[in-house]
Structure 1
Amino acid sequence: MEPPPPRRRASPPAIPDELFEEILLRLPPDDPACLLRASLVCKAWSHTVSSPRFRRRLHELHRTPPVLGVLHNWADERIPRFIHTTASSFSLAAPVWRTWRALDCRHRRALFFPQEFGGPEMLLWDSITGAQQRIPVPAAFKSDDFPTAAVFCAADGCDHGDCFGGPFRVVFFFTVEVDEGTHATSACIYLSETGACGELTSAHSNREFLEFRESYSVLVDRSALYFMLDGNADTASVVQFDLASHDLTVFGLPDTYYDFAYSLVLVEDGGIGVIQCLNTRLKLWRREASAEVGWVLNRVMCLENFLPVDALLHAQHKVQVVGFAEEANVIFVDTVAGLFTIELLSGHVRKVCSDPGVRIFGS
């Protein structure tokens, strides 16, 4: 008598697409390669990962986006233009530093200025798609001006989880000579919808020549942009540009004794603040709405509690805050031991690059 044929195992029940989506949503947000690998498994997963619904839900679940990397302007072939800061080691094909200098990066867009000053155009680079777009430079820019500009999403009510290809603004800041020996701080806005710049807004005439620092901008509550102005010990200051009224306001720093030791940040309530770098300490100052009150000391960070010892033991190489990622609330700290990120809320530290002196202009 022949044995009965073996029973065929029943196929496991198909996993609903909704469950796949829930699993993929919980992959580590600071390791984007996980989602890339998941998208290559099958067409269904690729469709899920690339859908606007998935990107929106991913943003809603994790809220604070990770800092994927930084752009720098250091002329060193050993270091890629884009330095990743995540668990996945990947590199984006950013515009080369020989031709373009990074100025600003926000809402997945990065802004570059020609290395040869006086160029008629800036370059806008989409860090997700790699698409590039030329932006006309205002006529008031001169070849000897140091360019300062900021880019941001202009879509109403956008959470920046899926605003690729949407409207944006570029705000240009510079100083112009009103008459002999007198200068004014000026600004104008480029609108992507019209492809043109608006009229100049000017304020703050001064006998001393003021110029913008080679640094990043900070956007507060989609209502105001902030930049740093250079000058001597009594003119170093912060510029506020109201995006609704186009008013420019210039105000001083908490303590001008340590000239140029300040970097812009956001504080806990979403207002503007500055970090004052004092050797192994960082003082965080908050700007009060009342002009009479001005700056209030908010917090002091002892870097010995955050950075390794070898990052602080060098008399000739000062610790500097060289960048700030707004949405992630992360500062970039340049030390003799390399570049580090510090999350201001949690205090979590990550080493980004071993080479000191990298100047960060976007994140």
Structure 2
Amino acid sequence: MKTTQHCRAAAAIYSSDSDAWSHVSVELAVAPTFLFTDYARKPGVHVGDAVYWLLPDNYILEFDIVRRSLSLILVPVPVPSAGFPPDYWQSQLVLTEAKELGYAVAMVTDGSIELWKRDTDNAAGWSMHRSVPLDKCLPRMQMQAELSLLGFHEESNAIFVWINAGLFLIQLESMQSRILCQGFGDFEIYPFSGFYPGDAAGTQADILCSLGLAMDTLNMWHYEDPQGDLQGPFSMMTLQGWRNHGFFPKDFRVWRTDQTKGQAVLLKDAIQSMALAHLGP
């Protein structure tokens, strides 16, 4: 995709067989704000014969590869937003279980993600699919002022969510989460699944490695929250940081990924044990 000085979106197709680009065969007039590259920074999502990009001002740009056509789609407006579309960084294009175009929006007021799907029978073109409560898959801490949706990994149906605790990857079917990194940052995420073709579906470990995660992150820690839900895995550095900020009681217990809940130990003892192991004999 590219833009011209006349504020038009133009499309061309690259062929890896011929190692060449097609001629620019289609253009679409759009508002100047749609094309600010400082804002439209999320990769597109491939659905059927089309590729979709989320644009600022709450529009979706559709490029039909077969018909060679460009069009704009208005995103749905959730009811709790009082008639105002969500912020660009609080929304994300995703795929539904049926591999159709979906739209995720962070509901900062109740700490959840609403998932919408395209619905040609609905006058608005969208229908509410389901709501995902984030307290089931993220640490139980204040998220309202910081929640952002930064990307989507199509092959594993997982969404990248950033809160003040760090960047998390949430699998939308199982709702399992994994922390990828901590701290603040201006993230731009471009997930990939590899640079070679494969006939068989990858294992979970293959998917994690393809996302650039080190295998040693699989050996991390879990805990049970006060509601009885299992959380994790998280690195010990992450847990220690949350403990230092007062998120855990003194008798808080954790266990490693290769252990069971019955083998849980006090977090302070686990921290001390790892510190001694790091110092060596």
TM-score bin, normalised by smaller chain: 0.5 to 0.7
Superposition pairs of residues 120-269 of structure 1, within 5 angstroms: 173-178=1-6, 183-206=7-30, 208-211=32-35, 213-221=40-48, 223-231=49-57, 236-255=58-77, 256-260=84-88, 261-269=90-98
Counterpart mapping for 1:36-51 below 5 A? none
Partner of 2:161: 333
**Distance change in 2, residues 1:248/1:291 (3 Å):** farther
Q: Partners in 2 of 1:259 and 1:347 — Cα distance? A: 23
User: Is 202-211 or 350-359 further displaced after alignment?
Assistant: 202-211
2:85 partner letter: Y
Letter in 2 for 1:215: K
State the SS of the aligned residue for 1:360: coil
Contact 2:158 2:170 in 1 (8 A): yes
Instruction: Look up the SS of the partner of 2:135 in the other structure.
Output: helix
- Tell me the matched-pair count: 179
Structure 1 pair 257–207 and aligned structure 2 pair: CA distance change class (3 A)? closer
Moved over 6 A (4+): none
CA distance change for structure 1 residues 264 and 314 in 2, over 3 Å: closer, same or farther? closer
Letter aligned with residue 226 of structure 1: Y
Q: Is the 8 A contact 1:320 1:334 kept in 2?
A: yes
**What is the rounded CA distance, in whole Å, between the counterparts of 2:143 and 2:61 in structure 1?**
33
Deviation, 1:205, is 1.6
1:45-88 CA-to-partner distances (Å, cap 9, x unmatched) read xxxxxxxxxxxxxxxxxxxxxxxxxxxxxxxxxxxxxxxxxxxx
Unaligned runs of 5+ in 2: 78-83, 193-281
**What residue is the counterpart of 1:275 in the other structure?**
104
Q: Do the aligned residues in 1 keep the contact of 2:120 with 2:126 (CA within 8 Å)?
A: no
SS state of the match for residue 210, structure 1? helix
Give how far 1:307 is off: 0.5
Cα shift at 1:285: 0.8
The alignment partner of 1:309 has SS state of coil
Superposed CA RMSD in Å reads 2.0
Identity percentage over the alignment?
27
CA distance in 2, matches of 1:219, 1:207: 23
Q: Extract unaligned runs of 5+ from structure 1.
A: 1-172
Bigger helix share? 2
Structure-1-length-normalised TM-score? 0.46
Q: Retained in 2: the 8 A contact 1:319–1:334?
A: yes
Counterpart contact for 1:322–1:333, Cα < 8 Å: yes
Residue 123 (structure 2) pairs with residue 292 (structure 1): yes
Residues 268-315 of structure 1: per-residue CA shift (max 9 Å, x gap)? 2111011111211211110124573401111111211211023xx256
Confirm or deny: 8 A CA contact 2:115 2:128 kept in the other structure.
yes
Residue 127 of structure 2 aligns to a residue whose secondary structure is strand
TM-score, structure 2 as length reference = 0.59
Q: How does 1:341-360 map to 2 (within 5 A)?
A: 341-357=169-185, 358-360=187-189
How far is 1:202 from its partner?
3.2
Q: Answer yes or no: is the 8 Å Cα contact 1:175–1:210 preserved in 2.
A: no
Structure with larger RCO (C-alpha < 8 A, sep 6+): 1
- The Cα of 1:209 is off from its aligned counterpart by 4.0
